[in-house]
């Protein structure tokens, strides 16, 4: 144990994900890793030949997708083991070796899109009407959409080659946050007067404490560590955003935002409309913040009060198995096939359940076409933690249905729609809890939590999206991301979104450093998808509950659509 958190070797097997289903051991992985080294050369063999015939193009695409499918399995095993303990040099080395090979494969295949786009339009139309390319028609249509932003084969090769060094920028932030900074987080005194180790996983949990003194101590201690590290984080963020801008300009997009949205076929106006619509709704949000202030009975509301329930005497806690049981009951409207598959995975080998020293913070769903879905959690037993299980199970079940229905090259769904599946699960869980709980205090707590989900998902994620746009626009204007600007801009944005119901005095000043802990600012315009996903998910869940089987069939077809 280190600071009350287990070492990885002390985690029971039943609490770990089953990576042996991918490879029996590291030696088996090593053998497959060596075998995939010949894949780049195999793909290079088709260079300059794609225009020869529809049959040859189909053969090249089949080889390309088969190579990526094999490489994906090698990568997933290494990256999942690496995230178990970011301080484990063995798995860090394996993931870097896998990354390097992946880049070699990507570089070898960098000619594919330019050569496809160079094929005569009339010839391509004739080929796509035939049988040889029928399995790849949807994929090819998407490639042809990108013709204005595809470079020459030599240029595409260079773009592929720079991906590995640019990826190191996010790695620097991740290791700093999850290993170095995490090791320096202090102990804080809890409600009982005992010293508790502050961790990334326990931060929000401790901000939910009914004891205001504890909340303030946690808030101050956590952000003090980021304050001391934000120069390094600012340098990493500056490099990350510059990489986004570089890619956008190299591919002739008018902005990094336009480039990021292109893959999902989303117009920039949609992003701007989201921010504008949320700005229009801020008066209603201010009213909610004011209601919280009155219910909590405070003369002054501070940002360390943002997570505590306005019904503090109600505490809902679940063991992991209890959380799975509740989630399965809640998702009953999605049908037996869905629930049985999900239960088997969540209680089987899908999930790495609890925090350990060096483990990546947060939660995600991962995996590859030839594996089960894998879910990383840092489960703490709170109601929010249970919702995280439901959320990530939504991603995983989307993968389950998509892989079952689609071939490899069409099974990887867009992130934009992925957040719909995860948030639909959350909506159904909320409906179930409100339908089954009769205690007035507990119902008040659940209603407060549901309203607070709008704060956390719709308003907060849109605030992040607006800040991310500001980051990219500053770099595009030729200005650097320096700490003074990052702090002041973020603080002003938080003030705009929370309004004058929050004191925003010295006790709230540390919120200026919150930008430094947000992983998603390194993900190139990701967070807006949470807000749009929530809006869609609420509509879908409502339709399933009110319309039954017809709405469920539509939803399952959506999950199978890839």
DSSP assignment of 488-504: HHHHHHHHHHHGGGB--
Q: What percent of the chain has pLDDT over 70?
A: 99
pTM of the model: 0.76
Query: Given this model, what pLDDT does residue 186 score?
Result: 95
Q: What is the pLDDT of residues 229-268, one digit of tens each?
A: 999 999 999 999 999 999 999 999 999 999 999 988 899 9
Q: What is the pLDDT of residues 25-69, one digit of tens each?
A: 999 999 999 999 999 999 999 999 999 999 999 999 999 999 999
**Helix, strand, coil shares of the chain as percentages rounded to 5?**
70, 5, 25
- 368: which 2 tokens? 């590859």
Which domains does the chain carry? 8-167 (1.20.140.70), 183-315+443-530 (1.10.1370.20), 320-436 (no CATH)
CB 236 within 8 A of CB 172: yes
List, by residue number, the catalytic residues: 392
pLDDT of residue 2 exceeding 60, the answer is no
Mean pLDDT confidence for 179-189: 94
Burial class (CB in 10 A: 0-12, 13-18, 19+), 9: exposed
Residue 10 or 533, more confident? 10
CB 536 within 8 A of CB 427: no
Q: What is the pLDDT of residues 307-346, one digit of tens each?
A: 998 886 677 899 999 999 999 999 999 999 999 999 999 9
Range name among 44-48, 162-166, 364-368, 512-516 with the lowest pLDDT average: 162-166
Query: Given this model, what pLDDT does residue 285 score?
Result: 96
Strand pairing category for 374-376 and 351-352: parallel
3-state DSSP call for residue 18? coil
Rounded Cα distance, 197 and 306, in Å: 21
Query: Given this model, what pLDDT does residue 150 score?
Result: 87
Mean pLDDT confidence for 433-458: 89
Give the DSSP letter of residue 359.
P
| Cα 429 from chain centre | 20
Reported residue count of the chain is 562
- Mean of the per-residue pLDDT values for the chain? 94
pLDDT of residue 397 exceeding 60, the answer is yes
Q: How far is the CA of 522 from the CAs of 244, 503, 517, in angstroms?
A: 9, 30, 11
Q: What is the pLDDT of residues 62-99, one digit of tens each?
A: 999 999 999 999 999 999 999 999 999 999 999 999 99
Nearest residue to 303 via CA among 530, 449, 501: 501
Query: Given this model, what pLDDT does residue 189 score?
Result: 93
Query: Given this model, what pLDDT does residue 312 score?
Result: 63
- 505: which 2 tokens? 């005095």
Rounded Cα distance, 8 and 88, in Å: 10
Mean pLDDT confidence for 196-200: 94
Angle at the Cα of 199 (from 317 to 95), degrees rounded to 5? 110
Q: What percent of the chain has pLDDT over 90?
A: 85
Query: Given this model, what pLDDT does residue 3 score?
Result: 61
pLDDT of residue 466 exceeding 80, the answer is yes
Query: Given this model, what pLDDT does residue 387 score?
Result: 93
pLDDT of residue 411 exceeding 70, the answer is yes
How many alpha carbons fall within 13 Å on the CB side of residue 299?
A: 0
Rounded Cα distance, 435 and 428, in Å: 10
Contacts 24+ apart (CB under 8 A), 259-264: 259/149, 260/524, 260/525, 261/525, 262/146, 262/149, 263/414, 264/414, 264/415, 264/416
């Amino acid at each position: 144990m280190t600071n009350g958190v287990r070492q990885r070797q002390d985690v029971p097997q039943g609490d770990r994900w089953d990576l042996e289903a991918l490879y029996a051991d590291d030696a088996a992985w090593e053998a497959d890793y060596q075998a995939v080294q010949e894949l780049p050369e195999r793909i290079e063999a088709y260079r300059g030949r794609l225009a020869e015939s529809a049959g040859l193009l189909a053969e090249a695409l089949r080889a390309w997708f088969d190579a990526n499918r094999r490489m994906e399995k090698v990568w997933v095993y290494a990256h999942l083991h690496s995230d178990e303990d970011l301080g484990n040099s063995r798995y860090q080395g394996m993931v870097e070796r896998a990354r390097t090979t992946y880049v070699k494969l990507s570089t070898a295949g960098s000619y594919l899109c330019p050569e496809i786009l160079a094929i005569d339009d009339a010839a391509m139309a004739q080929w796509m009407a035939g049988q040889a390319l029928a399995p790849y028609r949807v994929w090819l249509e998407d490639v042809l959409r990108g013709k204005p932003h595809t470079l020459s084969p030599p240029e595409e090769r260079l773009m592929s080659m720079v991906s590995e060094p640019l990826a190191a920028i996010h790695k620097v932030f991740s290791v700093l946050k999850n290993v170095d900074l995490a090791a320096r987080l202090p102990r804080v005194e809890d409600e009982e007067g005992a010293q508790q180790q502050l961790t990334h996983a326990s931060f929000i949990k401790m901000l939910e404490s009914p004891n205001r003194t504890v909340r303030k101590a946690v808030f101050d201690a956590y952000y003090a560590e980021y304050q001391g590290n934000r120069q390094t984080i600012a340098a990493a963020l500056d490099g990350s955003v510059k990489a986004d801008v570089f890619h956008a300009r190299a591919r002739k997009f008018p902005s990094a935002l336009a480039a990021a949205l292109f893959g999902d076929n989303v117009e920039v106006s949609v992003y701007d409309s989201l921010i504008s619509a949320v700005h229009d709704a801020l008066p209603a949000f201010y009213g909610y913040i004011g209601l919280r202030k009155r219910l909590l009975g405070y003369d002054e509301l501070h940002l360390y009060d943002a997570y505590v329930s306005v019904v503090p005497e109600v505490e809902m806690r679940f063991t992991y198995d209890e959380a799975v049981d509740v989630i399965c009951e809640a998702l009953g409207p999605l049908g037996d096939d869905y629930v049985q598959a999900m239960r088997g995975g969540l209680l089987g080998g899908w999930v790495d359940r609890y925090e350990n020293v060096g483990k990546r913070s947060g939660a995600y769903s991962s995996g590859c076409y030839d594996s089960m879905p894998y879910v990383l959690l840092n489960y703490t037993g709170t109601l929010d933690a249970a919702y995280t299980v439901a959320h990530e199970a939504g991603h995983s079940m989307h993968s389950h249905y998509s892989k079952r229905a689609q071939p490899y090259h069409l099974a990887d769904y867009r992130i934009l729609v992925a957040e719909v599946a995860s948030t639909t699960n959350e909506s159904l869980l909320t409906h179930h809890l409100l339908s089954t709980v009769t205690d007035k205090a507990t119902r008040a707590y659940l209603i407060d939590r549901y309203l607070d989900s709008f704060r956390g998902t719709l308003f907060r994620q849109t605030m992040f999206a607006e800040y991310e746009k500001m980051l990219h626009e500053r770099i595009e204007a030729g200005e650097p991301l320096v700490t003074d600007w990052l702090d002041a801009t973020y603080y002003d944005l938080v003030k705009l979104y929370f309004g004058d119901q929050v004191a925003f005095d010295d006790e709230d000043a540390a919120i200026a450093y919150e930008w430094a802990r947000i992983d998603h600012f390194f993900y190139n315009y990701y967070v807006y998808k949470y807000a749009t996903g929530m809006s869609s998910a609420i509509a879908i869940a409502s339709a399933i509950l009110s319309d039954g089987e017809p709405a469920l069939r539509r939803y399952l077809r959506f999950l199978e659509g890839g």
